[in-house]
Amino acid sequence: MIDWQRIWNDNENIKCFSPSRVILLFLSLFYRLVVELRNQLYNKNVISSSRLMCPVISVGNVTVGGTGKTPCVIMLAKILQTEGFLPAVISRGYGGRNTGGINIVSDGENIMLDAKMAGDEPILMAQSLPGVPVITGARRKKTGKFAIERFGANVIICDDAFQHRQIARDIDLVLLDYKKPFGNGCLLPAGPLRESVKGLSRAHCLMLTRAEGEMEVSEEVATIMKDTNTPLFYSAHEPQSITQAKGKSIVSMDNLKGKKVCAFCGIANPDSFKNVLLGAEVNILSFNPFPDHYSYTTYDLEELKKQFVSARADYLITTEKDAARLQAYPKFLETLWILRITMKIKPTAAEPLFKKFILKCLKESADKK
């Protein structure tokens, strides 16, 4: 499996001439032309977006992976629940085998599928959102309509949908990584951008994720805000605790200080996971990053366990998303601990403003219907 993140972040190769880089840039140009043509067809209503019978919130980004869409969807759904809404989450179910039709991952009470069939992110959302149906399928118009008719949803949250314009949305929330919002600035496959930055003019709201310390806006983001008058919020991934993958024990982050840890993950931004552990002042004895959505083998898990045992570490830790893909390995889960995180709007004083923005947009949508 090609590690695209490493290629895109390899600053030395970016500066040097190479035939492979020329090929990637040529393919990137072709990709840009196709994407911009498609967007123009939507913008001029040559291709029309279908409107559902209730408000739609899209959570997306302009880069491939790693901005925190799943925690944001969970945060949004919980906000809507506390405000009396009946949200449902629809997702394409990336990485799952059930890519066609309509797949009920969760009916709000029971989880019906596993990560192999549904994908790891829908499973994580289903586990984190009791009372919220989670549905996957290739055609969001069908899954959204199904969520309304079957479960009585009155708000649809579309996961990873900024570029999927099949259904109209009332709020397009776009997430950007605080430190590197546009990657190396190139479109796929030469870089992580799914479309050019000018596509952000469609966004109703921007959110800089993993914002820590002083909150400053990059020149590129500031220009976009000035040109489009788009509201901007900041958020952070806050670690809550580690919990046993198979058991009920919970250890607070404060109690991890000085503990010996072996860790692994298969996510788009492994450094974010590593930095959380370093922030807890643990002693990382080994850290094994795998490609995003990686399908672990028995051999992989045996090697990780051997590493953990030989290092005489206190904990073997992974992410929630990775743990969702490991449910078929109960023996390995007996050794494993899971890092629990939640997304929080920063600073805390901005939380009511974010909620107010979401509710205002939903009210305006309801008034139009």
Asked if the structure places residue 336 within a domain, the reply is yes
Asked if the structure places residue 322 within a domain, the reply is yes
Measure CA 277 to chain center. Answer: 19
Coil vs helix vs strand at 43: helix
Write phi, then psi, for 326 (nearest 5 degrees): -110, 15
Same-domain check for residues 102 and 152: yes
Cβ–Cβ < 8 Å for 168, 50: yes
Same-domain check for residues 74 and 204: yes
**H/E element, 57:** strand 56-61
Cβ–Cβ < 8 Å for 100, 69: no
Q: Which residues of the chain have pLDDT under 70?
A: 1-7, 9-17, 98-100, 214, 369
Same-domain check for residues 227 and 244: no
Question: What CATH number has the domain bearing residue 304?
Answer: 3.40.190
Same-domain check for residues 107 and 218: yes
Asked if the structure places residue 7 within a domain, the reply is no
Amino acid, single-letter form, for residue 149: E
Same-domain check for residues 218 and 254: no
Alpha-carbon gap, residue 117 to 104, rounded angstroms? 11
Same-domain check for residues 73 and 189: yes
Asked if the structure places residue 262 within a domain, the reply is yes
Asked if the structure places residue 278 within a domain, the reply is yes
User: Which pLDDT does position 369 carry in this prediction?
Assistant: 67
184, burial (CB in 10 Å: exposed 0-12, middle 13-18, buried 19+): middle
Per-residue b or e along 337-350, where b marks 16 or more CB atoms closer than 10 Å to that residue's CB: bbbbbebbbbeeeb
Cβ–Cβ < 8 Å for 175, 209: yes
pTM tops 0.85, yes or no: yes
Alpha-carbon gap, residue 123 to 115, rounded angstroms? 6
Alpha-carbon gap, residue 117 to 194, rounded angstroms? 25
Going by C-beta distance under 8 Å and a sequence separation of 6 or more, which residues neighbour residue 262? 284, 285, 286, 287, 304, 307, 308, 311, 313, 315, 316, 317
Instruction: Tell me which residue has tokens 């050019």.
Output: 196
User: Which pLDDT does position 146 carry in this prediction?
Assistant: 97
Question: What CATH number has the domain bearing residue 132?
Answer: 3.40.50.300
Same-domain check for residues 95 and 140: yes
CA distances from 70 to 6, 47, 117, 258, 348 (A): 22, 29, 18, 30, 20
As given in the structure block, the two tokens for residue 15 are 């500066």
As given in the structure block, the two tokens for residue 129 are 């959102």
Same-domain check for residues 80 and 125: yes
Same-domain check for residues 67 and 210: yes
Q: Measuring CA to CA, which residue among 172, 235, 157, 165 is closest to residue 204? A: 172
**H/E element, 284:** strand 283-289
Rounded to 10°, the helix 69-82/120-128 angle is 30
Same-domain check for residues 182 and 287: no
252, burial (CB in 10 Å: exposed 0-12, middle 13-18, buried 19+): exposed
Amino acid, single-letter form, for residue 317: I
Asked if the structure places residue 46 within a domain, the reply is no
User: Which pLDDT does position 10 carry in this prediction?
Assistant: 61
Measure CA 156 to chain center. Answer: 17
Alpha-carbon gap, residue 44 to 173, rounded angstroms? 22
DSSP state of 319: E
Asked if the structure places residue 200 within a domain, the reply is yes
Alpha-carbon gap, residue 25 to 361, rounded angstroms? 39
Amino acid, single-letter form, for residue 226: K
Asked if the structure places residue 30 within a domain, the reply is no
Same-domain check for residues 227 and 279: no
Same-domain check for residues 315 and 225: no
Number of domains in the chain: 2
Instruction: Tell me which residue has tokens 């549904």.
Output: 118
Could you list the residue range(s) of the whole structural domain that residue 299 is in? 237-342
